[in-house]
Amino acid sequence: MIVCVAVIGHQNNPLYIQSFTEADDALKLHHIVHCSLDVVEERVNNPKKSGPTLNETFLGLLYPTENYKVYGYLTNTKVKFILVTTDLDVRDADVRNFFRRFHAAYVDAVSNPFHVPGKKITSKTFAERVSNIVKSFGLSSAS
């Protein structure tokens, strides 16, 4: 189950963070997302040590905790997508598909002429699409 998704700008500023749990966990999930940025920076700056090539946008599993797994994705414009899940046996194909759909929703949201680049994403349509993508991720991983 996905518990949190985030879009982080190229200057590590949060553009969108949505948690899908009770309010008590929201602060902890924001902390997990913030900590994952260090791992993303390490992988981007040291590509030989971490595995993925510079052309690879999917960063894979950033790190596991005892309750969560954190995955990362980096766009060509250095915008980072973070996914936090409680499912400890997630397939990479499902996560790649999630990020592909999430990236498409993000592109549509920032292509809006009323969106100011580098500012928080406040689009209700984007939030609904993200929610639908998260719901479908849970269904596809169960089958």
Q: Where residue 141 falls among pLDDT bands split at 50, 70, 90?
A: very low
CA distance linking residue 10 with residue 74, whole number of Å = 10
Strand partners, 60: 72
Give residue 51's pLDDT: 52
pTM: 0.89
Q: Where residue 70 falls among pLDDT bands split at 50, 70, 90?
A: very high
CA distance linking residue 42 with residue 95, whole number of Å = 21
Torsion of CA 141, 35, 110, 21, to 10 degrees: 50
Give residue 19's pLDDT: 92
Lowest mean pLDDT among 11-15, 35-39, 68-72, 137-141: 137-141
Lowest mean pLDDT among 6-10, 56-60, 66-70, 126-130: 56-60
What residues contact residue 77 under an 8 Å CB cut-off, 6+ apart? Answer: 10
Q: What residue type is assigned to position 121 of the chain?
A: I
CA distance linking residue 117 with residue 12, whole number of Å = 14
Query: Does domain 2-136 sit in CATH 3.30.450.70?
Result: yes
| Alpha carbon 126 to its chain's center | 14
